[in-house]
Amino acid sequence: MGAITLDDVAIKAGVSAKTVSRVVNGERSVRPQTRERVLRTVEQLGYRPNLLARGLSGSHAYTVGLVYDNPNAYYIIAMQQGALAACDDLHFGLQMRPCNARAATLAEDLRDFVHRSRLSGLVLTTPVSEHMVALRKLAAFGIPFVRILSAARNPDDGYACVFVDDRDAAYAIVSHLLQLGHVRIGLLQGGKHHHASAERRKGYKDALQHYGIPVRKELMIDGDYVFDDGFRGARRLFDLAEPPTAIFGCNDEIAAGALAAAQSAGLHVPYDVSIAGFEDSPFSRHSWPPLTTARQRADAIVERATRMLVAQINGNTVENSGFTPELVVRGSTAPPRPKRQRRQRQ
């Protein structure tokens, strides 16, 4: 028996081939009862769309691109899993593309990527999604895209997006440390070209100010979202005449570096110093003690953005969607010891 075709599904379901095409492409212009009947038939017959033939029939392949500029391998894997979950469900292919978000030719590079690969649209992750000049050019090129970005509220600027409230999540982490009794809290920052870094710094400052604690510049250390910067930044904090009793790393990789620095200095985590991260990546769960963090489901966020993109490609209206990372308390944070009981740095 040959491969099941779209026409086979149409005959079995008692609908037109065009209706079957609309259902498998995720279009919403089909009545729910008809959609369910077609999907049941697809499952019964084991029909799988021929993506190559489908792509050759038009100017674009049924494939979307996922664009990123992020060195964190765990984050990239999570994003890929989320995009693939949506693409597999909607019968689209996926191509991933690393890029330099600060390149002067970013928009042109992405346009060439779309045309060369005959893509239907792009999911843009941070910090690529924050390059407004490039976004305006992509829109002028007629390329559909959905952004993922850090924002405390819906930006409502005409470009479809999934926005993540990093500020509120950072506020919750620092408030947790303050409620434990910490008043000197270090901040190990991420790369300045990420808007998320500014949002997480704002949450840190807002929490301190809300609790009446002065913001001290010597406790705020610049860096990037990498382990080595977390290690170096924490050692700088420990060298202060009055070191912090708690440290907030702007992602889990930074926080894991800070944890290693504390252990190398002979400090006990969490009793000599508490450490918290952000994202709930494997770094937070594989560290010892496990890191208090903010759970940011990169897979779920990217899956939602990919579904929005496919809906947009199919001519449907999409609404912006928001996420707020959730505080997860683990063994790396505790009330500070009284000063006389703290271990001295070796």
Question: How would you class 193 by CB atoms within 10 Å of its CB: exposed for 0-12, middle for 13-18, buried for 19 or more?
Answer: middle
Q: For residues 17 and 58, what is the distance between their CA atoms, to the nearest angstrom?
A: 17
pLDDT at 345: 47
Q: For residues 200 and 293, what is the distance between their CA atoms, to the nearest angstrom?
A: 13
Q: How many residues does the chain have?
A: 346
pLDDT at 340: 52
For residue 144 the two structure tokens come to: 């559909």
DSSP notation for 204-247:
HHHHHHHTTPPP-GGGEE---SSHHHHHHHHHHHHTSSS--SEE
Q: Residue 72: what are its φ and ψ, rounded to 5°?
A: -80, 110
Prediction pTM value: 0.77
List the domains of the chain with CATH numbers: 6-49 (1.10.260.40), 56-165+297-325 (3.40.50.2300), 167-295+329-341 (3.40.50.2300)
Give exposure, 257-272, as e/b (b: 16+ Cβ within 10 Å).
bbbbbbeebebebbeb
- In 85-230, at which residue ranges do the beta strands (DSSP E only) sit? 93-98, 121-124, 145-150, 161-164, 185-188, 220-221
Question: How would you class 32 by CB atoms within 10 Å of its CB: exposed for 0-12, middle for 13-18, buried for 19 or more?
Answer: exposed
pLDDT digit string, tens, across residues 143-200: 999 999 998 888 878 899 999 999 999 999 999 999 999 999 999 999 888 889 999 9
pLDDT at 60: 55
Question: CA 91 from chain center: how many Å?
Answer: 23
Which residues, given as ranges, of the chain have pLDDT below 70?
A: 1-2, 25-28, 48-61, 71, 339-346
Q: For residues 164 and 195, what is the distance between their CA atoms, to the nearest angstrom?
A: 11
pLDDT at 54: 52
pLDDT at 56: 45
Helix (H, G, I), strand (E, B) or coil at 124: strand
